[in-house]
């Protein structure tokens, strides 16, 4: 049974349809990346999933149960770390955790114990009593994420969890997420960093203009858009004389030259590479470097949306 | 993991968190204690001292006494003050004329000396000197009462002195008897304040202590009520809404924390001004009822107005203006008399009802606060209802 099942969900603000018939599922222990440019409908979709926005159509099931803004049972299964650092900065990390623990039904000693456990988990035990306002961006981010773990959720929703943090803290956060998923936690992850999605996500959904344009594993998405591999060869002299022979090679779809540099598109770069090198050698050309670029999520995203992920 | 936490526990948790934040940001201390105490102290220093520092008030006197003591009061006490420029004295012919002078604003207060004034005092019976004050001139009315009290005290002292001066070698038993009679004797002269609501006044210390406490309680409560905007802006409201709590608990907690902060502020200020300034707030039960309904009214109105704002800053701006308007028209910043024809507007403000309730309490029994409390409760309930409707949109999906 999927931990999250989103079926035909739509949301309209006035005449503006901001989420249009979106469907996807997240299985237990799976990390699902929801990618899309600003204004694509990610936040609204997440708002409906965490139960703060009413949907206009469709169904959302959490661990098999119908989910709504008033269903406290399904809401208790979700942990949510918003994009902004949603903590009380004038309170200490421990006070923040204890407060939100009480909103999840923990009281007294249980709330204190859980707060201490989460502080340990996010590596802030030594700073537990300090006001969050004194924390670095990375430390505050960790409190933000820690708050989403207080209720031992089955589904963790992380909305841009690494924005504004240093590389060390980012790596720490990513490792923490990987550790959580290894423990069986399901994660819905949004990010503007493609390398994070490629590193963490088992499957990715690309949303644009309120519609889910494509979803699948990275390889499936690449296959869906039919993106070619790119081979870049830099020579010691002019590249023109070998172009015709290269265009004649099997599985090569396009060849272009720019001074001493040849750009070659193919559906299988690694398979065609020996033929390319042999041809250039036979033409007595001085090969200085070779680079193979396989299509990534960035390329897929660009092809599907016409925009870069950070636009 | 427990589902659906106890709503009462949730409200308590949010209130405790809000109070902790108010303690940490200093707003509780500054707006709840330091400012009201400081301003009340300032006004007490400025206006609560020697009556001779104030000039320009007009006092009417009607001497109906068929004896000499009334004349003694007018010529021996009031006229010298007139001659010294402390007050302007106007002698009128009748009680109705004196009351009319006060009502018309021609006099700030009036002394009514009854026909049997001398006879009552000579026979050792109680004589009543009535002071009619103008509600719109509280300071002048207060001074008039103090003059009357001073005369009453003086007359009492003279009577006792004469009574003991005749017995230069007192028989011990007779002296003890005389002393006992003197101590148990009622003052032969009492000052009766007018029974009309408009003419009863709090003493200066109590008036400014209460008015400043009530004026600043709006600011103290404001931070809690408007904190929901800040929670929305920094994302903690979304986090709360995503948790498995009933949405109504959030608004309830916000209003409750404002009420709690306001009540604590008022209680501390009542105690502090009593100890520091000698303010006399009145019967504790009556004061408690007025403070409870008064703070409820302030929180309700504050939340209602904030409910129409689009953000924290706008709400704070609006509420600051509201505080000044309510304070000015409600008689908390300066006497209502200075509003002239606009004085009737004061009845639309909780400040007027709160201060009037305290005034009534000082002059009458506990039942005197029923009407002011009922009005304040009504204002509070209406404000809260509007607030829930308006602010409810912030927690709706």
pLDDT band at A242 (very low <50, low <70, confident <90, very high): confident
Residues A84 and A200 in one domain: yes
For residue A309, pLDDT beyond 90: no
What's the confidence (pLDDT) of residue B194?
47
Question: Is A291 at the interface with chain B, CB within 8 A?
Answer: no
Residues A97 and A211 in one domain: yes
Residues A110 and A186 in one domain: yes
Whole domain around residue B109: which residue ranges? 51-193
State mean pLDDT over B159-177: 40
Q: What percent of chain B has pLDDT over 70?
A: 81
Give residue-wise pLDDT tens across range B242-285. Answer: 999 998 999 999 999 999 999 999 999 999 888 888 888 989 99
Distance from the Cα of B252 to chain A's closest Cα (Å) equals: 14
Give residue-wise pLDDT tens across range B95-138. Answer: 888 888 888 878 888 888 888 888 887 777 777 888 887 766 66
Q: Contacts by B204-207 with C-beta closer than 8 Å and gap 24+?
A: B204/B43, B204/B44, B204/B47, B204/B48, B204/B139, B204/B142, B205/B44, B205/B48, B205/B273, B205/B277, B205/B278, B205/B279, B205/B280, B206/B273, B206/B279, B206/B280, B206/B281, B206/B358, B206/B362, B207/B138, B207/B355
Residue of A102 and B364 predicted with greater confidence: A102
- Alpha carbon distance A99, B139 (integer Å): 50
- C-alpha neighbours within 13 Å on the C-beta side of residue B243: 31
In a domain, A204, yes or no: yes
Question: Is A161 at the interface with chain B, CB within 8 A?
Answer: no
Question: Is B24 at the interface with chain A, CB within 8 A?
Answer: yes
Residues B189 and B207 in one domain: no
Judging by DSSP bridges, how do beta strands B109-113 and B88-91 pair with one another? unpaired
Residues A19 and A102 in one domain: yes
What's the confidence (pLDDT) of residue B255?
92
Residues A288 and A205 in one domain: no
- Which residues of chain B neighbour A84 with C-beta distances below 8 Å? 234-235
pLDDT band at B67 (very low <50, low <70, confident <90, very high): confident
- Alpha carbon distance A308, A180 (integer Å): 29
Residues B296 and B235 in one domain: yes
Chain B residue whose CA is closest to A82: B235
Give residue-wise pLDDT tens across range A273-293. Answer: 999 999 999 988 999 999 888
Distance from the Cα of B18 to chain A's closest Cα (Å) equals: 10
Residues A209 and A247 in one domain: no
State mean pLDDT over B162-180: 42
- Which residues of chain A neighbour B5 with C-beta distances below 8 Å? 102-105
Residues B311 and B218 in one domain: yes
For residue B46, pLDDT beyond 50: yes
- Alpha carbon distance B317, B321 (integer Å): 6
Residues B130 and B252 in one domain: no
Q: What percent of chain A has pLDDT over 90?
A: 60
Residues B354 and B241 in one domain: yes
- Which residues of chain B neighbour A112 with C-beta distances below 8 Å? none
In a domain, A97, yes or no: yes
Contact A86 B3 (CB under 8 A): no
- Which residues of chain A neighbour B397 with C-beta distances below 8 Å? 52-54, 69
Distance from the Cα of A132 to chain B's closest Cα (Å) equals: 13
Beta bridge partners of A11: A19
What's the confidence (pLDDT) of residue B137?
67
Contact A76 B1 (CB under 8 A): yes
What's the confidence (pLDDT) of residue B4?
72
Contact B244 A50 (CB under 8 A): no
Whole domain around residue A159: which residue ranges? 4-223
In a domain, B198, yes or no: no
E strand or H helix at B191: strand B189-193
Chain B residue whose CA is closest to A95: B17
Instruction: Choose one of A187, A207, A223: the last residue of a domain.
Output: A223
In a domain, A301, yes or no: no
In a domain, A300, yes or no: no
CATH classification of the domain holding A243:
3.30.70.2470
For residue B337, pLDDT beyond 80: no
Residues B364 and B237 in one domain: yes
In a domain, B1, yes or no: no
Residues B366 and B279 in one domain: yes
Residues A207 and A233 in one domain: no
Residue of A10 and B387 predicted with greater confidence: A10
Chain B residue whose CA is closest to A75: B244
Of A287-296, B166-175, B307-316, the one with minimum mean pLDDT is B166-175
In a domain, A152, yes or no: yes
Among B18, B13, B113, smallest CA distance to B61 is for B113
Residues B156 and B65 in one domain: yes
- Alpha carbon distance A74, A56 (integer Å): 19
Residues B238 and B352 in one domain: yes
Residue of B76 and A63 predicted with greater confidence: A63
CATH classification of the domain holding A101:
3.40.50.300
Contact A88 B236 (CB under 8 A): yes
Residues A161 and A182 in one domain: yes
Question: Is A287 at the interface with chain B, CB within 8 A?
Answer: no
pLDDT band at A308 (very low <50, low <70, confident <90, very high): low
Question: Is B1 at the interface with chain A, CB within 8 A?
Answer: yes
For residue B348, pLDDT beyond 80: yes
Cα B370 → chain centroid: 15
- Which residues of chain B neighbour A11 with C-beta distances below 8 Å? none
Residues B172 and B234 in one domain: no
Instruction: Choose one of A171, A200, A223: the last residue of a domain.
Output: A223
Give residue-wise pLDDT tens across range A130-160. Answer: 999 999 888 999 999 999 999 999 999 999 8
For residue A251, pLDDT beyond 80: yes
- Which residues of chain A neighbour B240 with C-beta distances below 8 Å? 103
In a domain, A311, yes or no: no
In a domain, A166, yes or no: yes
Residues A215 and A165 in one domain: yes
For residue B236, pLDDT beyond 90: yes
Give residue-wise pLDDT tens across range A176-219. Answer: 889 888 888 999 999 888 888 889 999 999 998 999 999 999 88
In a domain, B217, yes or no: yes
In a domain, A149, yes or no: yes
What's the confidence (pLDDT) of residue B2?
43
- Which residues of chain A neighbour B10 with C-beta distances below 8 Å? 102-103
State mean pLDDT over B288-308: 94
Among B156, B157, B323, B291, smallest CA distance to B225 is for B323
Residues B265 and B388 in one domain: yes
What's the confidence (pLDDT) of residue B155?
66
What's the confidence (pLDDT) of residue B178?
40
For residue B339, pLDDT beyond 60: yes
Residues A150 and A244 in one domain: no
Give residue-wise pLDDT tens across range B172-223. Answer: 554 455 445 434 444 444 555 444 434 456 777 888 889 889 999 898 888 8
Give residue-wise pLDDT tens across range A19-52. Answer: 999 999 999 999 999 998 888 899 999 999 999 9
- Alpha carbon distance B211, B351 (integer Å): 8
Instruction: Choose one of B193, B216, B233: the last residue of a domain.
Output: B193
In a domain, B328, yes or no: yes
Residues A96 and A123 in one domain: yes
Question: Is B26 at the interface with chain A, CB within 8 A?
Answer: no
pLDDT band at A58 (very low <50, low <70, confident <90, very high): very high
- Which residues of chain A neighbour B238 with C-beta distances below 8 Å? 47, 50, 52, 82, 86
- CA distance readout (Å), A294 to A264, A291, A299: 12, 10, 9
Contact map slice: A 226-265 vs B, CB within 8 A = none
DSSP secondary structure string, chain A?
--SEEEEEEEEEETTEEEEEEEEEEE-TT-EEEEE--TTSSHHHHHHHHHTSS--SEEEEEETTEE--TT-HHHHTTEEEE-SS--S-TTSBHHHHHHHHHHHTT--HHHHHHHHHHHHHHTT-GGGTTSBGGGS-HHHHHHHHHHHTTTT--SEEEEESTTTT--HHHHHHHHHHHHHHHHTT-EEEEE-S-HHHHHHH-SEEEEEETTEEEEEE-HHHHHHHHTPPEEEEEEESS--GGGHHHHHTSTTEEEEEEETTEEEEEES-HHHHHHHHHHHHHHTT--EEEEEEE---HHHHHHHHHSS-TT-
Distance from the Cα of A151 to chain B's closest Cα (Å) equals: 6
Residues B32 and B61 in one domain: no
- Alpha carbon distance A175, A110 (integer Å): 27
Distance from the Cα of A159 to chain B's closest Cα (Å) equals: 12
Helix axis angle for B248-277 and B284-306, nearest 10°, is 140
Question: Is A110 at the interface with chain B, CB within 8 A?
Answer: no
Question: Is B239 at the interface with chain A, CB within 8 A?
Answer: yes
Instruction: Give the closest of B13, B235, B242 to A84, CB-based.
Output: B235
**How many domains does one find in chain A?**
2
Beta bridge partners of A215: A205
Residues A152 and A252 in one domain: no
Q: What percent of chain B has pLDDT over 90?
A: 27
Instruction: Choose one of B193, B217, B232: the last residue of a domain.
Output: B193
Looking at residue B186, the DSSP 8-state letter turns out to be: P
Mean pLDDT over each residue of chain B, to the nearest integer = 79
- Alpha carbon distance B308, B310 (integer Å): 7
Among B306, B307, B323, B324, smallest CA distance to B315 is for B306
**How many domains does one find in chain B?**
2
State mean pLDDT over A95-109: 93
In a domain, B348, yes or no: yes
Cβ-Cβ pairs closer than 8 A, A with B, add up to: 92
Contact A152 B1 (CB under 8 A): yes
pLDDT band at B51 (very low <50, low <70, confident <90, very high): very low
The structure tokens listed for B133 are 């004050």
Question: Is B240 at the interface with chain A, CB within 8 A?
Answer: yes
Instruction: Choose one of B193, B223, B239: the last residue of a domain.
Output: B193
Question: Is A103 at the interface with chain B, CB within 8 A?
Answer: yes
For residue B165, pLDDT beyond 60: no
State mean pLDDT over A55-78: 95
């Amino acid at each position: 049974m999927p931990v999250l099942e989103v079926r035909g969900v739509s949301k309209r603000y006035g005449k503006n349809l901001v989420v249009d018939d979106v469907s996807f599922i997240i299985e237990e222990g799976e990390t699902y990346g929801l990618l899309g440019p600003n204004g694509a409908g990610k936040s609204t979709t997440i708002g409906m999933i965490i139960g703060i926005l009413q949907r206009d159509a469709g169904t959302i099931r959490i661990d098999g149960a119908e989910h709504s803004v008033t269903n406290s049972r399904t809401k208790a299964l979700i942990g949510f770390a918003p994009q902004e650092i949603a903590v009380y900065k004038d309170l200490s990390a421990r006070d923040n955790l204890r407060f939100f623990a009480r909103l999840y039904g923990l009281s007294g000693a249980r709330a204190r114990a859980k707060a201490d456990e989460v502080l340990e988990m996010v590596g802030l035990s030594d700073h537990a009593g300090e006001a969050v306002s004194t924390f670095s961006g990375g430390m505050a981010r960790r409190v933000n994420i820690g708050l989403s773990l207080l209720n031992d959720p089955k589904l963790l929703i992380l909305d841009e969890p690494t924005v504004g943090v240093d590389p060390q803290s980012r790596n720490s956060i990513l490792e923490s997420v990987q550790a959580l998923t290894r423990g069986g936690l399901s994660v819905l992850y949004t990010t503007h960093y493609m390398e994070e999605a490629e590193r963490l996500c088992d499957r990715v959904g690309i949303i644009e203009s309120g519609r889910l344009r494509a979803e699948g594993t990275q390889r499936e998405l690449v296959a869906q858009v039919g993106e070619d591999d790119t081979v870049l060869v830099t020579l010691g002299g002019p590249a023109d004389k070998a172009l015709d022979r290269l265009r004649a090679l099997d599985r090569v779809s396009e060849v272009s030259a720019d001074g001493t540099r040849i750009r070659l598109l193919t559906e299988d770069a690694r398979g065609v590479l020996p033929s390319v090198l042999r041809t250039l050698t036979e033409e007595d050309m001085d090969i200085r470097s070779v680079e193979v670029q396989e299509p990534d999520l960035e390329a897929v995203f660009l092809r599907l949306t016409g925009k870069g992920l950070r636009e | 993991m427990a589902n659906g936490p106890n709503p009462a526990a949730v409200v308590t948790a949010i209130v405790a968190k809000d109070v902790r934040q108010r303690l940490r940001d200093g707003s509780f201390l500054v707006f709840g204690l330091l400012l009201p105490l400081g301003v009340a102290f300032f006004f007490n220093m400025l206006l609560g001292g020697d009556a001779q520092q104030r000039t320009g008030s007009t006092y009417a006197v009607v001497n109906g006494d068929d004896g000499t003591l009334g004349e003694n009061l007018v010529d021996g006490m009031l006229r010298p003050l007139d001659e010294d420029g402390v007050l302007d004295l106007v002698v009128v012919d009748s009680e109705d004329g004196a009351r009319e002078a006060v009502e018309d604003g021609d006099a700030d207060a009036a002394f009514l000396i009854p026909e049997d004034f001398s006879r009552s005092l000579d026979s050792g019976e109680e004589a009543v000197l009535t002071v009619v004050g103008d509600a719109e001139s509280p300071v002048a009315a207060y001074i008039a009462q103090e003059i009357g009290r001073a005369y009453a005290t003086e007359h009492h002292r003279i009577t006792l002195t004469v009574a003991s001066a005749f017995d230069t070698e007192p028989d011990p038993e007779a002296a003890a008897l005389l002393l006992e009679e003197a101590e148990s004797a009622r003052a032969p002269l009492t000052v009766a304040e007018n029974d009309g609501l408009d003419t009863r006044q709090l003493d200066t210390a109590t008036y400014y202590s209460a008015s400043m406490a009530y004026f600043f309680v709006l600011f103290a409560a404001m931070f809690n009520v408007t904190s929901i905007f800040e929670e929305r802006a920094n994302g903690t409201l979304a986090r709360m809404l995503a948790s498995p709590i009933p949405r109504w608990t959030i608004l309830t907690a916000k209003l409750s924390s404002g009420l709690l902060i306001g009540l604590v502020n008022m209680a501390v200020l009542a105690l502090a001004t009593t100890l520091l300034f000698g303010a006399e707030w009145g019967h504790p039960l009556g004061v408690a009822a007025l403070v409870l309904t008064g703070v409820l009214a302030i929180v309700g109105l504050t939340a209602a107005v904030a409910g129409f704002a689009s953000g924290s800053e706008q709400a704070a701006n609006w509420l600051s203006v509201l505080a000044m308007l309510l304070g000015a028209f409600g008689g908390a910043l300066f006497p209502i008399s200075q509003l002239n024809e606009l004085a009737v507007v004061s009845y639309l403000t909780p400040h007027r009802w709160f201060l009037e309730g305290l005034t009534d309490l000082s002059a009458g029994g506990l039942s005197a606060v029923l009407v002011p409390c009922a009005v304040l409760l009504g204002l509070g309930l209406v404000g809260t209802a509007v607030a829930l409707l308006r602010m409810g949109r912030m927690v709706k999906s």
